[in-house]
A and B are shown apart, each in its own frame.
Chain A
């Protein structure tokens, strides 16, 4: 996984294969469904120390999954 993370830049949409690498549980979903519905539906983000990911009260439509082994805090 580390290699792929190194290669991708922030904001890059994930291919189905990359998505499966990060979220292996999605392998339980049939490939055809993934191809049909999940293409372009996930993006990789890198955040620097102290960067705000989302703020209380703001409207949104996405969820986040933490990939790397460094912690973030909700405050």
Chain B
């Protein structure tokens, strides 16, 4: 933890030190003495992290003494309008999400946002590592930044190929229309790209790409894409290799894998980064996992041995470390957040309002009652002009604090998994864990399916 208030001698109130920043990684590639941009009054920054919970893309330093308003996502949503929550979220969330259309400030902020953060994004894409500053600048001025809502089509199979797309955030579903219905090819996420096959081979779109959730893309038009490939052979080589592998996969016989994948999607398992699964074929219902969890967390279990079934697994009621954690969106005090890249933690300053618990679509956050001593001051008016007296009473009261699985990050293995005597409890990345099963099942019927890459990796093997 690092506080930026350490030498501010004038302010000793505890709340002044509350909003600290997260531990800082040392992998700062861009030196502070090479400024990327200069920001002035009336400008907003940090909004990408605020809306997507992805790490900060740049370091910001005060050049002169300055004053800023630091805001949580709810205020940003009010200012620029919030995204549409997914259908699954709408159906399962107990709290009605307020919808904000945004204010007149929106257009202004969007313009600045697009001008500024694009350069950083383009630089951070491994595929573009060999591009020089001049060409990046050319791209920065020419590309379009487009946002899509859930289920909106980005490009359609059979249409003319006119652009190349780079995903800034969100997930894209790549599918083919077949007589029996839609066959999902793969899912792409941040840092991935699509639309290259049509451009490279001058053919119509070979697949339909649609937004699985709220998606932001960088759209590079055909002319700029061609120019980029001409000037940077390393980029061409990389894109052609990926296009070749994808094209070959497309030529294979395709049959819809069936219900399996539908369940995977409808239960929201693709959203999860880490699931607690209990293999029901091995589980004897001994509840050693629940007891171990309670022992590790002051006697309160953060998991329930109950939940949805998927195949022969029970998806236990424990935090899934969602990619787009809805629970974090409305916390009035900012006490629920990601610690590193996976686990969601609730800090001590939780005020027990319960908004996160209501927002979690999977019921994985519990409000736990605590007994606290509270001082109650009552003023007693003095008789005959005597000064008023203050009576202080201490009273036992119940307060609430939100609890969620912290993945036992201090331990090498989560307590529940460690404690299971039958090897039934596992913590898994569902994309990888079920990806293999789905691929195996699909191969049996001659179809192809590829798991989505992990959050901060990009690889394109089919």
Contact = CB atoms under 8 A, between A and B. Distances in A.
Residue from A9, A14, A26, A63 with most neighbouring chain B CB atoms (10 Å): A63
B338 interface: yes
Contact of A51 (B4, B22, B47): B4
A53 B69 contact: no
Nearest to B106: A25
A62 B68 CA distance: 12
A1 to B, nearest CB: 10
Contacts of A5: 67
Contact of A75 (B16, B22, B35): B35
16 contacts: A37-B74, A39-B332, A40-B332, A42-B70, A47-B67, A52-B62, A58-B22, A59-B341, A62-B50, A63-B51, A64-B44, A64-B68, A68-B67, A68-B68, A71-B38, A75-B35
A54 B69 CA distance: 13
A71 B60 CA distance: 11
B230 to A, nearest CB: 32
Given A42-B72, A61-B49, A74 B38 contact: yes
Contact of B56 (A34, A46, A58): A58
Contact of B41 (A38, A40, A68): A68
B67 A62 contact: no
Contacts of A52: 4, 59-62
B40 interface: yes
A65 B69 contact: yes
B157 to A, nearest CB: 37
B59 A66 contact: no
Contacts of A11: 5, 11, 13, 15-19
B53 interface: yes
Interface of B: 4-5, 8, 10-11, 13, 15-19, 21-25, 27-47, 49-51, 53, 55-76, 78-79, 98, 100, 103-105, 116, 328, 330, 332-334, 337-341
A72 B38 contact: yes
Contacts of A75: 30-36, 58-61
Contact of B65 (A29, A36, A43, A49): A49
Interface of A: 5, 9-14, 19, 22-23, 25-26, 28-29, 33-34, 36-75
B59 A62 contact: no
B24 A55 contact: yes
B75 A42 contact: yes
A41 B76 CA distance: 10
Contact of B62 (A39, A49, A55): A49
A58 B174 CA distance: 31
Given A37-B330, A63-B76, A10 B5 contact: yes
Nearest to A60: B49
A53 B68 contact: yes
B41 A67 contact: yes
Given A29-B100, A60-B50, A63-B44, A46 B59 contact: no
B8 A10 contact: yes
Contact of B74 (A41, A50, A64): A41
A36 B64 CA distance: 35
B75 A55 contact: no
A57 B27 contact: yes
Contacts of A43: 19, 69-71
B28 A12 contact: no
Contact of A72 (B13, B62, B334): B62
In the A-B complex, the 3 residue pairs with the smallest Cβ-Cβ separation, listed nearest first, are A11-B16, A25-B105, A70-B64
B39 A73 contact: yes
A37 B50 CA distance: 16
Contact of B11 (A9, A22, A53, A57): A9
A37 B332 CA distance: 7
Given A28-B103, A37-B78, A49-B64, A64 B70 contact: yes
A47 B70 CA distance: 12
A34 to B, nearest CB: 8
A65 B328 contact: no
Given A25-B105, A57-B25, A73 B19 contact: no
Residue from B19, B40, B78 with most neighbouring chain A CB atoms (10 Å): B78
B38 A54 contact: no
B59 A56 contact: yes
B69 A56 contact: no
A49 to B, nearest CB: 6
A72 B36 CA distance: 11
Contacts of B57: 56
B79 A26 contact: yes
A73 B63 contact: yes
Residue from B42, B68, B333 with most neighbouring chain A CB atoms (10 Å): B68
Given A9-B16, A55-B21, A63-B47, 15 more contacts: A29-B100, A33-B78, A38-B75, A40-B333, A42-B75, A45-B70, A52-B62, A54-B21, A56-B56, A57-B25, A59-B340, A60-B46, A64-B68, A67-B67, A75-B32
